[in-house]
């Protein structure tokens, strides 16, 4: 399967997210750039999840319908043509890191999927629902991991 190169000018893979992007900071989504999405992709889907959350994997950001020919998104913006779904905080769009105080650093996995055909998800999907739905349509993906602790 093809790979998408997903990066951020705010942090490197497996390094700490700046406080600006955390819930306790400015709660601004980080800037992202990507390349390598297949030309025949119908849409891109962006998921940011925290698999270290005490109550199970927590969804921080889910955006569907992203323009497959786009190359990124600026900080605090929605990806081109994307529709933000409801995150684990019960809000539409980005919800920054907010791990329990004293926990080891949590991993915030940003994953961009290129899909062969559009997917339909519930308005407030769990991470498992996203994984299951995109698995049948995925033709490429890429990920970027940020860390955060309080």
Which pLDDT tens digit goes with each residue over 22-78?
999 999 999 999 999 999 999 999 999 999 999 999 999 999 999 999 999 999 999
Q: What is the mean pLDDT of residues 96-105?
A: 97
Per-residue model confidence (pLDDT) at position 68:
97
User: Does residue 2 carry a pLDDT above 80?
Assistant: no
Render the burial of 113-125: b for 16+ CB within 10 Å, e for the rest: bbbeeebebeeeb
CATH code for residues 2-137: 3.90.280.10
pLDDT of residue 90: 97
Query: What is the Cα–Cα distance from 135 to 111, expressed in whole angstroms?
Result: 13
pLDDT > 70: percent of the chain = 99
Q: What's residue 1's pLDDT?
A: 63
């Amino acid at each position: 399967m093809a790979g998408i190169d997903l990066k951020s000018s705010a942090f490197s893979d497996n390094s700490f997210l700046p406080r600006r992007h955390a819930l306790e900071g400015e709660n601004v989504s980080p800037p992202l750039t990507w390349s390598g999405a297949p030309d025949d992709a119908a849409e891109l889907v962006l998921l940011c999840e925290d698999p270290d959350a005490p109550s199970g994997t927590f969804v921080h950001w889910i955006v569907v319908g992203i323009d497959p020919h786009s190359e990124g998104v600026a900080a605090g913006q929605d990806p081109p043509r994307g529709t933000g779904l409801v995150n684990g905080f019960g809000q539409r769009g980005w919800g920054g890191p907010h791990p329990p105080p004293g926990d080891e650093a949590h991993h915030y996995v940003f994953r961009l999927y290129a899909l062969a055909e559009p997917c339909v998800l519930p308005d407030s999907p769990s991470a498992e629902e996203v994984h299951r739905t995109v698995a049948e349509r995925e033709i490429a993906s890429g990920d970027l991991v940020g860390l955060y602790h309080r």
